[in-house]
Amino acid sequence: MSVADAPTQAGSARADATATPLSAYVHLPWCVKKCPYCDFNSHRAPATLPETAYVDALVADWAIAAAGERRSIDSVFIGGGTPSLFSAAAIERILETLADSPGLSADCEITLEANPGTTERSRFADLAAVGVNRISLGLQSLDSGCLAALGRIHGPEEALAAIDDVRSAGIDQLNCDLMFGLPGQDLDSGLADIETLLERNPGHISYYQLTLEPGTPFYRRPPVRPDDDTIADLFEAASERLTAAGYTQYEVSAWGRDHRCRHNDNYWRFGDYLGVGAGAHGKQTQGDGRILRTARQRWPAGYMQSAGTPAAIVETRSLEADDARFEALLNGLRRRQGLRRDEYEARTGLDWPNLLDTLAVPIERGLIMADKTGVRASPHGWYFLDSILAELV
C-alpha cells in the first residue's frame, strides 16, 4: 500500500480541488415524445410546460450545489430531455444564476441540446443572444425510414434546416449526434447519412451505435437491426470517411474538426461538475481532498417540491480509492490520448505506480500502453475497452 493510498482505505481519495477544473450540468427533463431507445431521465411534456416553476427550482437548487465554491465554471451543458422546449428567457435566467455564483470563465463553453422540430426558426438567434455558444443537435439519422423506426418526431428536411438555422444564428460551434446500427439500415444507407451530414460541414460529430438499454421499449421488444458484421463494416467505412474529411476521433464516439467538446472532455479527464435538475448527478472535490458524488431526486414533480432543501439530494457518497481509480480509468481510457499521469494524481490523490499495478495484465497483453506521462489504449486495445474495464472491475 502506497503512502498516497493509505488515507483512502478508511475514507476517500485526497485530491487537489484547486487543480481540478469545474463544469456545470443543468437537466431539463421534458420531451415532446419519449423515444423507444432512450434510457435518460426524460419525460413526456405536459400540455403546459411548468417552465417558471422549474427554473425557480433550479435557482434554489443551485444555491445549495454551488455553496462555498470558489472556482469559476469552464463549461456549461444544458441537457435533457429537450432543452430547446424552454424559452430563451428561461435559459438566460439559468445562465445568470450560474454567472452570479461562482461565475463563468471568460471563454466558458455553453452548450444546449436541441432536437429538430422543437425549436422555432428564430429561437437559435435568441439563444445566442443570451450566451449559448454551442448547440448539440440530436439528428440521429438523415434517413426518413430510420427516423420513423427510432420514433423521432422530425424528418431529414427538418434536421438539415436546423443545422442551417444554427449557422444563421451565428453559433459557430455545432455538434450533430448521429447513430448507426439502426433498424432498416444497411451499409449504403448508413454511409449516405455520413455523406449528407458532411455536406453541411458541422465542426463536431458524435457518432455512436444504437444499444438496447434495460427498461426501454426497444429492450423489451427488440427491433430487427443489422448483423454484427454489417455494423462493424459500417463503422470502419464511416471512420475512414470522417478521417478523410478532416475529423479526428479523440474519444470513442466523438469526432472533432474545428473544436472538441470541452464539457464532455472534462468528464473524461475526471474533472468536477455541479449538477442540478431532476435526476442530475454531480462530482465535486472538497477542500480537504475528498471526492463527493451527489444525485438529485429523479421525478420532476418531486424535484420541484424539494429543490433548495436537502431532500432534493437523494444520494451523497465519498469515493473510496478503488472507486476513484476505476472511474478515472473508465473515463480516461475512452480518450485517444488516454489518461495523463499529472491529471490522475492531482484529481484522485492516488499513487501512479499503484495504477500501473492495476493495469499490469492488459499492459502485458499489449492492450494498454504506459509510460511515465500516462496510459492509453493501444491501437489493438482500443477495440476491447469494454472487456478491459470489465476485467478491472
- Pull the grid cell for residue 32: 415532446
Q: Which residue has the cell 454531480?
A: 282
Supply the CATH number for residue 211's domain: 3.20.20.70
Q: Which residues constitute the domain of residue 333?
A: 324-393
Q: Which residue has the cell 448507426?
A: 180
Strands (E), 115-212: 134-140, 173-180, 204-209
The pLDDT tens digits for 19-64 are 999 999 999 999 999 999 999 999 999 999 999 999 999 999 999 9
Asked if residue 288 is part of any domain, the answer here is: no
Q: Is the pLDDT of residue 140 over 80?
A: yes
- 80 forms bridges with which residues in the sheet? 28
Average pLDDT on 281-287 reads 96
Q: What is the pLDDT confidence band of residue 3, given thresholds at 50, 70 and 90?
A: very low
The pLDDT tens digits for 108-126 are 999 999 999 876 668 999 9
- Together in a domain, 240 and 329: no
- Pull the grid cell for residue 273: 461538475
Supply the CATH number for residue 342's domain: 1.10.10.920
- Together in a domain, 244 and 329: no
- Together in a domain, 177 and 35: yes
The 3-state DSSP class for residue 55 equals: helix
Sign of CA dihedral 218, 222, 223, 225: positive
Lowest mean pLDDT, pick from 144-153, 285-294, 333-342, 382-391 = 382-391
Asked if residue 246 is part of any domain, the answer here is: yes
Asked if residue 116 is part of any domain, the answer here is: yes
Count of domains for the chain: 2
The pLDDT tens digits for 240-258 are 999 999 999 999 999 999 8
Tell me the DSSP string of 260-304.
Answer: --HHHHHHHTT-EEEEEETT-EEEEE-TTS-EEEEEE-SSHHHHH
- Together in a domain, 104 and 203: yes
Pick from 247, 266, 285: which residue ends a domain? 266
